[in-house]
Structure 1
Amino acid sequence: MQSTTSGPGGGRYRCRVEWGDCDPAGIIFYPTYFRWMDAASWAFVESAGYDAARMRAEHLAMPLVSAQCDFLVPALHGDRCEVRTQVERVGTKSFTVAHEIVREDGTVLARGSETRVWGRFVAGPGSPMKGEAVPEAVRGMLAPK
């Protein structure tokens, strides 16, 4: 179950802890939080009109240059969660988003952040990448609240 709602300055990405997201004890395996934060960031940018097909066609990328997460409460198999994304900073070629992962009962499970650079492959995917200005359509969605 994954759905997204986004608007200027933030978004929400809904997800569920599946069996494959857990360790043998049925507790969420920590990389799952990073996967969810990544998915929430991409969904947020997609809501500004930059879906995966457009990113590939225009040779665009937004590589992750920094990520961190504080694990507060373990999630369990079957928990329904939401990644709440808020923009912290928008620079000329990069942006930072904060994520809060919340179980449906309101318990905050984790808090993290990502910094990404907006870039373009010089000669298509696999070639060197060069940073460029964040497009206005994306910048408008990223405007911090």
Structure 2
Amino acid sequence: MSYDRTIAIEFCHCDPAGIVFYPRYAEMVNHMVENFFIDRVGYSFGRMMDEGYGMPTARLEIDFRKPARLGDRLDWRLTVEHVGRSSARFLICAEDRLEARSTVVWMDRGFVPAPWPDHIRPILETHHA
């Protein structure tokens, strides 16, 4: 099962040539993970932080396939590629423009890796490709 979302390319995403400035793609990848947690997991980053937990990105790989331009609307897709004891790897694609893998780690209140909570793990496993 995948999570899909459309992101419009706006002026703030672009460099003077009118194409997406590559670090903005990292922000969009994080946008996909964050909104997956809001929409599918039902657990926002804000709530996570309020409760003393965290989920930092431990690894990020991005392959840039072709440029996106101001005004484009890209269809993004997130799938869960791997679920570990305390980590998960997401495969995130934006049409034919980009393919990314983002690995996150669940952190407990002491900011040390901890097993996925019982209310999150089953949802990640449901979205596992």
TM-score (norm 1): 0.81
Aligned residue for 2:41, secondary structure, equals: coil
Task: Quote the sequence identity (%).
Answer: 30
Offset at 1:57? 2.2
Pick the structure with more helix per residue: 2
Aligned residues: 126
Amino acid at match of 2:88: F
Aligned residue for 2:85, secondary structure, equals: coil
Amino acid at match of 1:114: S
Indicate the residue corresponding to 1:18 in structure 2. 10
Indicate the residue corresponding to 1:65 in structure 2. 58
Indicate the residue corresponding to 1:117 in structure 2. 105
Stretches of 4+ aligned residues off by more than 3 angstroms: none
Q: Is the 8 A contact 1:37 1:83 kept in 2?
A: no
Indicate the residue corresponding to 1:3 in structure 2. none
Aligned residue for 1:119, secondary structure, equals: coil
Indicate the residue corresponding to 1:141 in structure 2. 123
Q: Is the 8 A contact 2:37 2:45 kept in 1?
A: no
Which stretches in structure 2 are left out of the alignment for 5+ residues? none
Amino acid at match of 1:25: A
Pick the structure with more strand per residue: 1
Q: 2:48 aligns with which of 50, 55, 61?
A: 55
Equivalent-residue separation in structure 1 for 2:27 and 2:69 (angstroms): 16
Instruction: Indicate the larger mover: 72-81 or 130-139.
Output: 130-139
Offset at 1:82? 2.0
Aligned residue for 2:108, secondary structure, equals: strand
Per-residue CA distance 1:19-38 (angstroms, 9 max, x = gap): 11111010110112111110
